[in-house]
Structure 1
Amino acid sequence: MAVKNGFSEANLPAELIKLLFSLASNWGDIIDFSKLKVDHLSGAMTNEVYRISWPTKVENSTRTVLVRIYGVGVELFFNRDEEIRTFECLSSHGYGPKLLGQFREGRVEEFIHARTLSAADLRDPEISTLIAVKMREFHNLNMPGSKNVILWDRLRNWLNEAKKLCTPEHVKEFNLDKLENEISLLKKAISGKHQEIGFCHNDLQYGNVMINEETRSITLIDYEYASYNPVAYDLANHFCEMAANYHTEKPHILDYNIYPGLDERKAFIRQYLISAGRQPNDTDVEQFADDVEKYTLANHIFWGLWGLISAYVNNIEFDYMEYARQRFAQYWLKKAQILNEK
Structure 2
Amino acid sequence: MAIKTIELLKGCASQEELMEVIATVASDLGDVIDDVNNLEVIPLKGAMTNEVFQINWPATNGSDLRKVLVRLYGEGVDIFFNREEEIQTFECISKHGQGPRLLARFTTGRVEEFIHARTLSAHDLRDPEISPLIASKMREFHKLHMPGTKKAHIWQRMRKWLVEAKHLCSAKDAKKFGLENLDDEINILEKDLCEGYQEIGFCHNDLQYGNIMIDEKTKSITLIDYEYASYNPIAYDLANHFSEMAADYHTDTPHVLDYSKYPELEERQRFIRAYLSSEGKKPNNAKVNQVVTAVEKYTLANHLFWGLWGLISSYVNKIEFDYKEYARQRFQQYWLRKPTLLDTPTIVSQNETVNGSLPLASCV
Q: Scaled by the length of structure 2, what TM-score is found?
A: 0.91
Q: Paired residue for 1:101?
A: 104
* Stretch moving more, 32-41 or 106-115: 32-41
Deviation, 1:4, is 9.9
CA-to-aligned-CA distance 1:259-308 (integer Å, 9 cap, x gap): 00000000000011111333211111111100000000000000000000
Q: Distance in 1 between matches of 2:292 and 2:47?
A: 29
Q: Paired residue for 1:317?
A: 320
Q: Paired residue for 1:26?
A: 28
Give 1:164-313 correspondences, 5 Å limit: 164-192=167-195, 194-313=197-316
Deviation, 1:2, is 3.7
Q: Distance in 2 between matches of 1:270 and 1:36?
A: 46
CA contact (8 A) 2:153 2:231 kept: yes
CA contact (8 A) 1:116 1:209 kept: yes
Please state whether the residue corresponding to 1:232 is helix, strand or coil. Answer: helix
CA contact (8 A) 1:119 1:244 kept: yes
Deviation, 1:61, is 1.4
Q: Distance in 2 between matches of 1:16 and 1:84?
A: 18
Aligned match for 2:41, one of 38, 52, 61: 38
Query: Given the superposition, is the C-alpha separation of residues 226 and 171 from structure 1 closer, same or farther in structure 2, using an over 3 Å criterion?
Result: same
Deviation, 1:20, is 1.0
2:8 is equivalent to residue 7 of structure 1: yes
Q: Distance in 1 between matches of 2:242 and 2:196?
A: 23
Query: Given the superposition, is the C-alpha separation of residues 18 and 245 from structure 1 closer, same or farther in structure 2, using an over 3 Å criterion?
Result: same
Please state whether the residue corresponding to 1:53 is helix, strand or coil. Answer: strand
CA contact (8 A) 2:197 2:291 kept: no
Please state whether the residue corresponding to 1:278 is helix, strand or coil. Answer: coil
CA-to-aligned-CA distance 1:68-109 (integer Å, 9 cap, x gap): 000001100000000000000000010000000100000000
Q: Paired residue for 1:57?
A: 60
RMSD: 1.6
Q: Distance in 2 between matches of 1:282 and 1:27?
A: 51
Deviation, 1:258, is 0.9
Q: Paired residue for 1:156?
A: 159
* Stretch moving more, 53-62 or 225-234: 53-62
Please state whether the residue corresponding to 1:15 is helix, strand or coil. Answer: helix
Q: Distance in 1 between matches of 2:160 and 2:28?
A: 42
Deviation, 1:341, is 4.2
Deviation, 1:8, is 5.5
Deviation, 1:15, is 1.4
Please state whether the residue corresponding to 1:51 is helix, strand or coil. Answer: strand
Q: Distance in 1 between matches of 2:339 and 2:302?
A: 16
Q: Paired residue for 1:81?
A: 84
For structure 2, the residue ranges without an aligned partner over 5 or more in a row are 346-364
Deviation, 1:16, is 1.1
Please state whether the residue corresponding to 2:246 is helix, strand or coil. Answer: coil
Please state whether the residue corresponding to 1:125 is helix, strand or coil. Answer: coil
Please state whether the residue corresponding to 2:49 is helix, strand or coil. Answer: coil
Deviation, 1:44, is 0.2
Q: Paired residue for 2:71?
A: 68
CA contact (8 A) 1:311 1:319 kept: yes
Aligned match for 2:125, one of 122, 127, 136: 122
Query: Given the superposition, is the C-alpha separation of residues 8 and 81 from structure 1 closer, same or farther in structure 2, using an over 3 Å criterion?
Result: closer
Deviation, 1:6, is 3.6
Please state whether the residue corresponding to 2:150 is helix, strand or coil. Answer: coil
Aligned match for 1:131, one of 134, 138, 155: 134
CA contact (8 A) 1:8 1:38 kept: no
CA contact (8 A) 1:152 1:187 kept: yes
Deviation, 1:193, is 6.2
Q: Distance in 2 between matches of 1:225 and 1:36?
A: 31
CA contact (8 A) 1:4 1:40 kept: no
Identity value in percent? 62
Amino acid at match of 1:95: Q
Q: Paired residue for 1:328?
A: 331
